[in-house]
Amino acid sequence: MKTLFTFIPPEELKQDLIKSFPDEDFSFCPEIEQAEKEIQNAEVIVTYGEDLTEKHIEIANKLKWIMVTSAGLEKMPFNAIKNKGILVTNARGIHKIPMAEFTFGLMLQHAKQFPVFKKQQQEHLWNQALPIFELSGQTMLIVGAGAIGGEIARLGKVFGMQTIGVNKGGEDRQYFDEMLTLESFITGLSAADYVINILPSTSETKHIYHKHHFEKMKNTAVFINIGRGNAVKTEVLMEVLQEKMIAHAILDVLEEEPLPAEHPLWDLENVTITPHVSSHSKLYLPRAFEILKHNLRTYTKKQEDYLNVINIEKGY
């Protein structure tokens, strides 16, 4: 049985996999182009999820299962996959720890003025007279109260914060003091010190934040986007930040990625830009490979206990 990778895993993980499944045939290709020759013989494809097209699915005559080692599935050719009855699993659940850590790091960086202290160090300046805030007692509005939002709320409660969550139907979730629906979330904006967007990209969530949403926020509020860049138009963010409607925006995702080098957003004083890395972690692939190995064992033993099976109709 051939398992085809459309990326090259780190040597340690590769060797561990080969050792764990000595009877299986693994092919590791650096990119989908090099994998195309072998795709007809692959029963299993392991991919980051952004390279497979309808054409690949059409020619993959033996393909039974696609393991996506990420959580984003927007680019998957689900129609072709559905027609052929191919199983899809992903690595959801492994993002919540690094993304929640990243979010708290960014919030604390803002509250504790670390970039200003860094500048003072460069200037050899010992100056204590900066306003330093606490997370304790502050309110977070977490727009997207799934696994990642729940982990952020869990940490928030431990830091003594108020947590308001937003999901489609406004159902109660653990670690949230209050829940709002996607339709009513605008009512939570005025209470929030931190507005954290973790919505996935769907037709409902595209450009969901308009200028009037930011007008509702406190002028001391911080907007953090670690979800999808198209939740808000870059030109809206530019206006909001230039007019200082809020104190700061922290953007790990943007409508256009990479953000073009000449874009004026880079230079605004009240924005922090990171290059879509909130889920990055030295532990990311080891965790994804644990799921892969579990599912490979299930596959080879013809069992049914797959982890993270995707509902092809729903796309998640």
**Binding-site ranges for a second copy (CB under 8 A):** 97-98, 101-102, 104-106, 108-109, 111-112, 114-115, 117-118, 120-121, 124-128, 130-137, 154-155, 158-160, 257-259, 261-263, 266, 272-277, 280-283
Looking at the annotation, which residues are catalytic?
276
Return the number of the residue (146 or 286) whose C-beta is nearest a second copy.
286
Please state whether the peptide bond connecting residue 286 to the residue before it is cis, i.e. omega within 30 degrees of 0: no
Return the number of the residue (1 or 13) whose C-beta is nearest a second copy.
13
Provide the 10 A C-beta neighbour count for residue 94.
24
Q: How far is the CB of 108 from a second copy (least distance, A)?
A: 3
Q: How far is the CB of 120 from a second copy (least distance, A)?
A: 7
Picking from 29, 82, 38, 80, the residue whose alpha carbon sits closest to that of residue 62 is 38
* Token reading at 39: 């795709």
Q: Kindly report the length of the chain.
A: 316
Return the number of the residue (27 or 109) whose C-beta is nearest a second copy.
109
113 CA to centre of own chain: 26
Phi, psi of 34 (to 5 degrees): -70, -25
150 CA to centre of own chain: 13
Does residue 293 contact residue 17 with C-beta atoms inside 8 Å?
A: yes
Alpha helices in 123-233 (DSSP H): 147-158, 211-216
Does residue 168 contact residue 202 with C-beta atoms inside 8 Å?
A: no
Phi, psi of 48 (to 5 degrees): -75, -10
Picking from 266, 275, 268, 269, the residue whose alpha carbon sits closest to that of residue 226 is 275
Q: How far is the CB of 22 from a second copy (least distance, A)?
A: 29
Q: How far is the CB of 118 from a second copy (least distance, A)?
A: 6
Return the number of the residue (18 or 277) whose C-beta is nearest a second copy.
277
Which helix (H) or strand (E) element contains residue 139? strand 139-143
Q: How far is the CB of 123 from a second copy (least distance, A)?
A: 9
Return the number of the residue (18 or 116) whose C-beta is nearest a second copy.
116
Bridge partners for 181 per DSSP: 167
Q: How far apart are the two ends of the chain, measured CA to CA in Å?
A: 27
Q: How far is the CB of 42 from a second copy (least distance, A)?
A: 28
Return the number of the residue (125 or 203) whose C-beta is nearest a second copy.
125
